Amino acid sequence: MFKVVASFLFCILVASSAIAADIIEVTVYHNGELNSTTGKTWLGLFPAKGGQFELREAKVSVSLVNDPIADNSPKEKTGRKVTVAGTAEPLVVIAGVSALKPGKVVTSTVNMKERFDVGEKLKLNVGTRESTFTVTGVKKNAEWRIGYKVVLESGGIKQTIYEREQVADSSFPSLLWAGDLDGDQKIDLIMDTTDNYNVRNLTLFLSSKAKPGKLVEQVATHMSTGC
């Protein structure tokens, strides 16, 4: 009986990991930073004409390559290189998010910004619906910021989507893409929510998954390191 139950639980865990939401970039990862891509249906966020983007099915492959940071010799191959079939390269590829479907996606006029400092404000839009992306906090000195917050506001609702007691100017988060990924005519975000210069924390926020009184919900994240 124990073996049957254990086997059943193992199958559930395997199935859950196979459909877990994931978001990755077309790049090289260190060993241990990349979950298996087998069995997942990936959607790539590809650039389109006129500064727009579209979601398309993407064939993702992973190959072993030399990792100059971790490997002891040029012949050793512990790195994981992610590639996507075709000549076009997507901004990211996403799996396990049922709210996303292939097709054109509305992209905000302002859709990218690297490293937000205190006091910055962006106007993001999905059609005529406008959202405000604001960074608050205190400049302690040239390097450090105290009480650092990123606040998203739309339709009278404010939501803090990123918050740190202290963060260095080399470790500010970035907005990688803004628009309507899930087709509900509200803003969705893809960010690097890092707080370390050597860490990349790719994060997907969707409006259709937001809890009551919120604008977005984090639905997928993937962390990797530089060196």
Distance CA 157, CA 142 (A): 32
Please identify, among 104, 137, 168, the residue that sits at the C-terminal boundary of a domain. 104
Q: Are residues 114 and 197 in the same domain?
A: yes
Please identify, among 56, 83, 104, the residue that sits at the C-terminal boundary of a domain. 104
Distance CA 160, CA 216 (A): 10
Q: Are residues 114 and 172 in the same domain?
A: yes
Residue 102 confidence class, pLDDT cut points 50, 70, 90: very high
Give the pLDDT score at 20: 77
Average pLDDT, whole number, for the chain?
Answer: 90
The mean per-residue pLDDT over the stretch 41-60 comes to 95
Is the confidence at residue 187, as pLDDT, over 90?
yes
- For 121, the domain range is 105-225
Domain count for the chain, please give it.
2
The mean per-residue pLDDT over the stretch 140-146 comes to 96
Q: Are residues 15 and 71 in the same domain?
A: yes
pTM of this structure: 0.89
Q: Are residues 84 and 152 in the same domain?
A: no
Q: Are residues 54 and 19 in the same domain?
A: yes
Q: Are residues 23 and 112 in the same domain?
A: no
Q: Are residues 99 and 122 in the same domain?
A: no
Q: Are residues 65 and 111 in the same domain?
A: no
Q: Is 10 exposed, middle or buried (0-12, 13-18, 19+ CB in 10 A)?
A: exposed
Interval 192-215: pLDDT, tens: 999 999 999 999 999 999 999 999
Q: Are residues 81 and 116 in the same domain?
A: no
Q: Are residues 79 and 93 in the same domain?
A: yes
Please identify, among 50, 74, 104, the residue that sits at the C-terminal boundary of a domain. 104
Residue with more model confidence, 17 or 223: 223
Give the pLDDT score at 38: 82
Range with the poorest average pLDDT among 2-6, 44-48, 105-109, 175-179: 2-6
Q: Are residues 128 and 199 in the same domain?
A: yes
The mean per-residue pLDDT over the stretch 83-93 comes to 95
Residue 46 confidence class, pLDDT cut points 50, 70, 90: very high
Q: Are residues 111 and 219 in the same domain?
A: yes
Is the confidence at residue 7, as pLDDT, over 90?
no
Interval 29-41: pLDDT, tens: 999 999 888 889 9
Percentage of residues of the chain with pLDDT beyond 90? 87
Distance CA 47, CA 176 (A): 13
